[in-house]
Structure 1
Amino acid sequence: MEKIKESIKKHFSNGPKAVFITMLIIMISAITINSTKKTLYVYIDGKENKIVTFRSNLNGALIANKIEVGPKDKITPRLDSNVKDKDKIYVKKAVKVELDVDGETLTIESAEDDIETMLTAEGIQLNDLDRVSPSKEEPLQDGLKVAITRVETKELKEVKTLDYATVTKRDSNLQQGNKKTIQEGKTGEKVITTRVVYENGKEISRKIVSEVVTKKPVEKIIAMGTLGTYTPSRGVNIRYSNVVKMRATAYTSDYASTGKSPGHPYFGITATGTKARRNTGGYSTIAVDPRVIPLGTKVYVDGYGYAIAEDTGGAIKGNKIDVYFDNNNLVYNWGVKWVNVYILK
């Protein structure tokens, strides 16, 4: 202002005109200064700071008032905005967060509200199973420590061989003590699926989730011979499927044995309708309990010979037989004895 006054004195006289012009210049200067002066309200983390500036640019106004805004700080409106008197400026200062992720420890400056938005802003992606500690909703604060545990699952498939079973079956057509493979066994297969869980690359658990048989095993079948061979005193081999020890008596066709006399229409006729006979060169007639030896069964009676179960008797119950002879003398000679009865094949 002093320079202005001196200039006026130099160019103008000390008259009233000079005074008027001087006052006019002063007024114009004051108006100009007041019109460019601005009062701004700057809120840093919620705390109000009142500043005065002649700058029209927000960044310039903050610098002039020694207010620093870091690269990770958030500011509203933007730094390159123009400001006007009584504008409100909001600054959120970034805090330092320590982050453990993927084997590294990172120091991150962030002005985001919580952990989740910080990770998004930093371009750190989370997979569906990953865990964040503390939780993603935790508000950011200076010195906060955050850890991300990478969780991964894999399903491993293993093919396992299934052993076959061996089944033994009795075969009456095969000599006793002999065996024969009827069907060869074949192994099967099954696929076992195991779910393995890894945390930060280290296995922590595994669990079988399914077992699927893709090929059934085929059982091995072995026939075991049950056909016995007996050689009586005559020296002829007898092939039999079973042998039973039985109490043997003898009978003939007379009245004492059958209750029928000669002339009776059924005299000498067996329960199966055949003629009772003693055939030393072939099959003779014997009486049996059909529940033990079915009628029509061919047998070999030790000491008697070949026979067919053709007859029954009231006293022949259970493990008893009655062998037939043509006369009573042979019946008496036979008497009662225990014999082996071979069921013929």
Structure 2
Amino acid sequence: MEPNKPGGLKHRNMIVLLIALGLMVGAMTGFAYQASNGSNNKQVLIDDDGQTVEVLTRENTVGEVLERYNIKLDKGDVVTPDLDENLEQDSSITIRRAMPITVVADGQQKEIYLTEGTIKEAIAEAQVKLNENDLVNYALDDNITPRAYVVITRVDNKVLVEKDSIPFKTVTRNNDKLYEGTKKVVQEGKNGELHKEIEVEYRDGLEVNRQLKDEKVAVKPVDKVIEIGTAKKPEPKTITVASRGASRTKKKTSSVAKTTASRGGSRSTQTSEASNKSSGEVFRATAYTYTCDGGSRTATGVVPKPGMIAVDPRVIPLKSTVYVEFPKGWEHLNGYYKAMDTGGAIKGNRIDVFMANESLCRNFGRRSVKIYFKK
């Protein structure tokens, strides 16, 4: 992925225009000489976005001059004076070419045209409202550049209350009124309830982080109490029974009531809601931009543009979308990126981020990023 050198079609067209205008100036100069200083000729200076040329013309209005010299206006271009303004000798015509800007927010993409201004002004021109916590991949006071691709990530924080069960404890105590080996449940256990306040961060509707803010016991658990007998059982009594010529002894065992301990222990079911925390995975990131021939197509067959990354398809499937979190100083690039390209050196946990120009790529270098996968 070779970076593109500066320059474009618009500049080449401007060079052709200047050559054509130069030829026209020569022709008009000759015409002026033959016309013996005709009163209808006017010397007019044309400034087309910093490129200037003087022409000798008989046209009366700004619009007629532009039409005469086949100077086309694109959407958003600003001409001074107005097109229907009459020209005088040594008049000047200034053209400021509009730059196309793409603004992406709320799943929609808008294209606007401005001759100058900041990223904040471009967002306002696109009629997109910025909320306090929203993220933008540019600094708001940055000046606009041609084909800037502005991505707005909606950030929403909500506080949720999760309820967790607090298991009851089982405690035992001795009872000297119960025979040894006997147990008795004197109090059933009950689970308590713990309330957790959790702040959840959503980006464009997807959860990316959650943090515990507070927790409190809403219902205290009740211990299960079991008493264990410690009393000794009585010894059996011996009774002598008279007999003819002999005595017979009989062992009479005093009746001992069997005490059965209640087995009514309660079964506790702990319920907890899954927290479903998203966890990012660390990747090594580099950057690339347009190639010298105007932009080679990606591995998926499309022309690369900001918002795309090159990946190892064994790690991140092609055409899938992931959330990329950049390190400190590059947070303005945070957002969702589509895996649309591959590369010979892109293996394993590594990505190549498409950027608008070579300068950005060189400044970015190599950095560690965090990638969140959609579930």
TM value normalised by structure 1: 0.46
Q: Which has the higher contact order (CA 8 A, sep 6+)?
A: 2
TM value normalised by structure 2: 0.43
